Amino acid sequence: MARRAHPPAAAAAAALALAALVGCSPDIGNGTYFCGPERLCPPDQECNDNTYTCESPRLAERFECPAGSTAAEPDDTAAEALDVGAITCGAVLVEDRRGCIGEVGDVDLIAFELVGACVGDRPHMEAAVRFPIALVPLRLELLDEEGAVIDVAEVCTVSGDATGTERLCIDAAIEPGRYLLRVQAEPDGPDCDGDCHHNQYTIEVTYPLA
Amino acid sequence: MRAMPAKGPRLVAIALAVGCALASAPARAQDYFAGAGEPISFEVDRPRSRSDKILIASLFGGSVLFAGVGLLFHLDSRDKSDAVSTSAGKHTGKVYTVDLDDARRGALRSRNVTIASYAVSGGFLVGTFIAYLITDPGRERITVGEEPARLSVQPTAGGALVGTWWRF
């Protein structure tokens, strides 16, 4: 009885096994993820600092402060702080204002004043800063007129947030007076060994009565 | 009174058939018994040795084992790839975290193990096939009916059992 091998069958089996392996390689499209901390992206992609998304290296841009975000510069000292005026009870004082921490040591200061007591269940000042996770994390502080720190913002990013950003919030009951909000890079925050020690942000300040 | 069927033609037909059969029987019987006295030959598969069977079973077992390992890593790789993979142009709204990067690395690692396991499994399978062919003991021709008749005597209680065989 003649016996012989079946090369076509073996080749077909091998081809089938290789075809089955096609779905086993992670395939990540350009621009489908926000960059992680310190510009973390898949190996074949790079972080676009301005859109903070993982892109092909060809499309990745280096960081530039967004247009209008440096209009208040210089605002690094109490004397140079951007003065947004007096708080109106129950109103929005600053609404999604864009800012930028462009270099090491850069600080943005916003000054405001609470003139008189507001009537309500729980009148308080709320300030929130939102910034991309990809670059150096920021720090938001509430200072009194002398520059002493009253409060430090805590992370208040909503679970399931799909914006690639972190949110820091301050919720403080304050007495009438002049105050400063200070935005700066988190001291000792991860910054790609100094290569991504910059970030953009938006800030909002309100004074709800309840 | 009912009419009885005629039996004469049927009996004649039966008698003719029996007569023909009896007339041709001696010739056919001679044909049948003519070859009975000659030896009979036929081919049978030789049995494979125990060591050959162990070799083939071991190779095939290795193939199955590595295929199973490959399948496990294959499924793991596919799951991790599905967790990370995206279609270009569809933003996920997710941040590329260290956990996702670990999943991507794990998918690649599992894929490599899968390829290696399938390759080893395929090698064992080919080895099994080759061993099956190489250790094939072939066939042998067996002839019966050439042995001389022997008398067999088996003592029993109070007597003996005597036996032999005949060809006819």
Q: Indicate left, alpha or beta for A68 from its phi (over 0: left) and psi (-120 to 50: alpha).
A: left
Q: What's the mean pLDDT in B76-80?
A: 92
Whether pLDDT at A16 is above 90: no
Which residue among B88, B108, B110 sits closest to A32, beta carbon to beta carbon?
B88
- B110 neighbors A23 (Cβ within 8 angstroms): no
Beta strand A199-206 pairing with A92-101: antiparallel
Domain boundaries, chain B: 48-85+94-168
pLDDT at B69: 95
- Residue A210 has what DSSP assignment? -
- A51 neighbors B112 (Cβ within 8 angstroms): no
- Residue A33 contacts B, CB cutoff 8 Å: yes
d(CA B26, CA A165): 108
d(CA B126, CA B122): 6
Contact B88 A36 (CB under 8 A): no
Q: What is the pLDDT of residues A62-116, one digit of tens each?
A: 999 999 888 888 888 888 999 999 988 888 999 999 999 988 889 999 999 998 8
Average pLDDT score over chain A? 88
Whether pLDDT at B30 is above 80: no
Whether pLDDT at B33 is above 60: no
Poorest-confidence range of A166-180, B35-49, B69-83? Answer: B35-49
Q: What is the pLDDT of residues A52-61, one digit of tens each?
A: 999 999 988 8
Categorize the per-residue pLDDT at B28 as very low, low, confident or very high, splitting at 50, 70 and 90.
Answer: low
pLDDT at A10: 59
Nearest residue of chain B to residue A27 (CA atoms) = B85
Hey, what domains does chain A have and what are their CATH numbers? 26-62 (no CATH), 82-206 (2.60.120.380)
The amino acid sitting at A17 is: A
- Residue B115 has what DSSP assignment? H
pLDDT at A4: 47
pLDDT at A76: 87
- Residue A133 contacts B, CB cutoff 8 Å: yes
The amino acid sitting at B93 is: G
Categorize the per-residue pLDDT at A184 as very low, low, confident or very high, splitting at 50, 70 and 90.
Answer: very high
Structure tokens at A62: 């280096």
pLDDT at B129: 94
Contact B98 A36 (CB under 8 A): yes
Nearest residue of chain A to residue B87 (CA atoms) = A29
Contact B87 A29 (CB under 8 A): yes
Half-sphere exposure at residue B67, Cβ-oriented, CA atoms within 13 angstroms: 14
Categorize the per-residue pLDDT at A19 as very low, low, confident or very high, splitting at 50, 70 and 90.
Answer: low
Three-state DSSP at B16 gives: helix
Categorize the per-residue pLDDT at A1 as very low, low, confident or very high, splitting at 50, 70 and 90.
Answer: very low
CA-based radius of gyration for chain B: 38
Greater confidence (B149 vs A8) lies with: B149
Nearest to B103, CA basis, from B116, B94, B93: B94
**Ranges of H-type helices in chain A:** 7-20
Categorize the per-residue pLDDT at A3 as very low, low, confident or very high, splitting at 50, 70 and 90.
Answer: very low
Categorize the per-residue pLDDT at B112 as very low, low, confident or very high, splitting at 50, 70 and 90.
Answer: very high
- Residue A11 has what DSSP assignment? H
Categorize the per-residue pLDDT at B12 as very low, low, confident or very high, splitting at 50, 70 and 90.
Answer: confident
Which residue among B77, B94, B103 sits closest to A34, beta carbon to beta carbon?
B94
Contact A162 B94 (CB under 8 A): yes
Beta strand A33-34 pairing with B94-95: parallel
Nearest to B116, CA basis, from B58, B57, B73: B73
Contact B81 A36 (CB under 8 A): no
The amino acid sitting at B160 is: A
Greater confidence (A121 vs A6) lies with: A121
The B-side interface with A (CB below 8 A) comprises 74, 77-78, 80-82, 84-98, 100-101, 103-104, 107-108, 110-111, 114-115, 118, 122, 126, 129, 133, 136, 139
Residue A20 CB coordination number (10 Å)? 14
Using alpha carbons, list the distances in angstroms from residue B121 to A11, B53, B64, B75, B129.
14, 19, 7, 17, 12
Whether pLDDT at B27 is above 70: no
d(CA A111, CA A145): 9
Collect all residues of chain B within an 8 Å Cβ-Cβ radius of residue A5. Answer: 129, 133
Contact A32 B110 (CB under 8 A): no
